Copies of this chain bind each other. A is one copy, B any other.
């Protein structure tokens, strides 16, 4: 039962969604695929690259159009759909400043500075949302029921 690169990325996302980024190790991904850890390196040069492919997959179905607020909300939803999704995107997208596909897409419908500002805000707020909810779930902080509304208000400030 030979695996393909797509199987590896899919397996990694299953581990991520099930256990969180903290426990998404190469060894666990390998176990998920019923393979030895070293087998992963036939498909991917290192973990960083795998995380990048996971981020790409998380964002794969996000469409961007002239409605920047709606586009931002769709981007947020895509990241919220998988556990620690925003953190994976933030970690791997941050160092691609400018060379990030969604930034170019957004810029095509507005302006490069607005696109970048919006993207940093959307990813940052969504990452904070996921971390906060996780902290609240474990009880180390009281839950904030206003996070989605807070997101929309910040969006309005940037797009005003």
A157 close to chain B: CB less than 8 A: yes
**Mask: chain A, 107-139; 1 = CB below 8 Å from B; 0 = not:** 000000110110011011101110110110000
Minimal beta-carbon separation of A111 from chain B (angstroms)? 9
What B residues does A129 contact at CB under 8 A? Answer: 97
User: How far is A144 from B135 in the complex, measured between Cα atoms in Å?
Assistant: 36
Query: Is A158 within 8 A of B117, CB to CB?
Result: yes
Residues of A within 8 A of B (CB): 90, 94-99, 113-114, 116-117, 120-121, 123-125, 127-129, 131-132, 134-135, 141, 144, 147, 150, 153-154, 157-158, 160
Q: Name A157's contact: one of B99, B117, B135 (CB within 8 Å).
A: B117
User: How far is A144 from B154 in the complex, measured between Cα atoms in Å?
Assistant: 27
19 CB contacts below 8 A, A to B, read A94-B124, A94-B127, A94-B128, A95-B132, A95-B134, A95-B135, A97-B129, A97-B131, A97-B147, A117-B121, A117-B153, A117-B158, A120-B121, A120-B124, A120-B125, A120-B154, A121-B121, A121-B124, A123-B124
What B residues does A158 contact at CB under 8 A? Answer: 117, 157-158
